[in-house]
Amino acid sequence: MKTSFLKIFTVIALVSLASCGEKAKEAETKEAEKAAVSENTAITYKANIDESLIEWKGFKPTGSHTGTIGIKQGKINVNNNAIESGKFVIDMSSIAVTDIPKEEEGNAKLKGHLTSADFFDVETYPIASFEITGTETVDGKTMLSGNLTMKDKTNNISIPVSTEMKDGTMILTSETFTIDRSKWNVEYGSKSFFDNLGDKFINDDIELKVTLVANK
């Protein structure tokens, strides 16, 4: 009996550790900062909107959903292969759901909910934006900081990124990170705003991964 109990406890512990390890780290979030300014010698790379996107994942007690959001426009200024400044605009109306087949009713229903006033209120706030405020190296990683504006709120976030330069193209890829949606006044189903939700709540954390392809 004792052996069986120990086996069950070990399995539970391993599952708990695995679950903790799967969660992406939340981006450092603070008040908005002054946008970075480039030197005159900087080279401008313009976003390729057909190849750039943001992947997202949202969570609730019964599971999760995944999808993408498109980049509407943007540019990054680079000097000696280092990012100096830049801004890109996010097309909130392009929110897509990828874990439910497009032909199923649930796909359009979830997209409609995310774009409604309950969540991102795309009719009122059709775009979001990220404007670079600086970069620094921390523990061997490049941390890109910028002002993320979504709905009527701007916060500064810092995220780990890598860049690749090749034949006049720059590919900027972030590690998967999370943001706390409540800090941008996305309230629906959030325990940060409502009590007595029971198991009907939706996690505040949203996982994101950015891929930005830009050309000279």
CA distance 181 to 205: 6
CA distance 85 to 62: 41
Q: What one-character-per-residue DSSP string does 94-147 give?
A: EEEE-SS-TTSHHHHHHHHHHHSTTTT-TTT--EEEEEEEEEEEETTEEEEEEE
Q: What are phi and psi of 193, to 5 degrees?
A: -120, -25
pLDDT at res. 204: 82
Structure tokens that stand for 131 in this block: 């404007």
pLDDT digits (tens, 9 = 90+) for 60-85: 777 889 999 999 999 999 998 899 99
- The answer to whether the CB of 166 falls within 8 A of the CB of 148 is no
CA distance 196 to 152: 26
Domains and CATH numbers, the chain: 24-215 (2.40.128.110)
Q: Per mean pLDDT, which range of 31-40, 122-131, 178-187, 198-207 is the poorest?
A: 198-207
pLDDT digits (tens, 9 = 90+) for 94-127: 999 999 999 999 999 999 989 988 889 999 999 9
CA distance 162 to 144: 9
